[in-house]
Amino acid sequence: MGSKDEVEQNSQSLVKYNHSDPPSSWLKWIPTSMAHLVQIESRILSRLKSTVEKCFITLPQSQHRIWTIVANKDKPNTPLVMVHGMGGGVGLWVQSIDDLAVKRPVYAFDLLGFGRSSRPKFSSSAKLVEMEFVESIEEWRQEMKIEKMALLGHSLGAYLASAYALKYPENIEHLFLVDPWGFPERPTGESDRSRRIPTWVRAIAKVLSPFNPLAVVRVAGPLGPGLIRRFRPDLQAKFAHLFDDHTILDYIYHCNAQTPSGESAFRTLSLLLGFAKRPMIERISEVDKDLPITFIYGSKTWMDKECGYQTKFLRADSHVDVEIIPGAGHHVYADKADNFNRIMNSYLEKMDLHADNERMKNMEMKHAETEIDAEQYPITEV
């Protein structure tokens, strides 16, 4: 794996609007480029103490490129693969990578359509969009030559990790779903879940429904970075011990001020108010029963924690755990990074022990088969 950290070309500051972005005749320039994103991401990743390799992985079928980092590649245990959520990128894992890579390789990549990865046009069908994401992850895995992995996804990444597990469970040792998006069914009538959504949120969602979720950031042009700083100071606070400026918020801005490819795909997957068109709770019981699943929620999340417990009920003959981290919100891995990393490492160590036991069983079985063959077909000297 090379360490190429340069983009092939710098994007121009002018970003073409997607068809689902609101038009803007008065604003032509957006203060972003891929070079800006490269620079700010490099600053974030420089805080890592692990040995980190970075490169683009080209997918053979489409020739799209997946921006990838791997920490401690030569560690012996089962690797952990981390999949970010909507509007995120590899930089958001900066508080977890070192702790989780002590005993194993840790891979993180920008989903197709996000961050520094290629930004193709996705299908207009929710089922096909899901398939396109899943197949891009599988092609990436094959190119990385990862045989088995612990797969972790946050929010949208958890939804896609679940979809991947439905099709390729044999490649996963343990599935970690961190504050997953897309699990609950859309409520009908005035259910408890729908009543929790404020009236003003519903009104805004209805007005903005024809547009991509973060279109306002691009329409704002030069005001875009300021909007992120004004409305998401909580994100900056989560990383305050690493950065005393707007580094994280600028990273979020430059990830999302580019062509909104993955964002459009997310919109295709979504219904009004952010519910999934194809709720994962309806399918999670179809995941191979031998695959262990762990849900990790923040106690203050706005996601529906009941879906974790419902999965536990639906998969009664499988291993399903639900962890709640006190004081954490939706970005649980950043809100309470130490607690999150400790819980993850506890599960990963158990996973390693289980994998070692399985290998020992297989070796013993092969040894026993060899002895039986020797008894049935003894070697005779001539």
For residue 22, the model assigns a pLDDT of 44
What's the farthest any 2 CA atoms get from each other in the chain? 94
Handedness of CA 280, 284, 287, 290 (dihedral sign): positive
Domains of the chain as residue ranges with CATH: 34-376 (3.40.50.1820)
CA distances from 346 to 198, 271, 299 (A): 38, 36, 20
The per-residue pLDDT for 206 is 46
Q: In sequence order, which ranges of 315-336 are alpha helices (DSSP H)?
A: 332-335
Give the closest residue to 69 by CA, choosing from 61, 78, 60, 84: 84
What is the per-residue pLDDT across 31-51, written as a single tens digit (0 to 9) for each? 677 888 999 999 999 999 999
CA dihedral 5, 42, 108, 90 (to 10 degrees): -130
The answer to whether the CB of 155 falls within 8 A of the CB of 181 is yes
Residue 344 host element (H or E): helix 337-376
Which segments of 62-125 does DSSP mark as H helices, in order? 97-100
Residue 151 near residue 172, CB atoms below 8 Å: yes
> Which two tokens mark 41?
């991401």
What is the reported pLDDT for 359? Answer: 65
How far apart, in whole angstroms, are the C-alpha atoms of residue 62 and residue 178?
A: 29
What pLDDT score was predicted for residue 217?
A: 57
| Tokens linked to 328 | 């954490």
Q: What is the distance between the alpha carbons of residues 279 and 181, in angstroms, rounded to a whole number?
A: 9
Helices (H) and strands (E) in the chain, counts: 14, 8
Q: What is the per-residue pLDDT for 33?
A: 79
Mapped onto helix, strand or coil, the DSSP state of residue 73 is coil
Residues of the chain with pLDDT under 70: 1-31, 189-231, 233, 358-382
pTM of the model: 0.83
Does residue 66 sit in helix, strand or coil?
Answer: strand
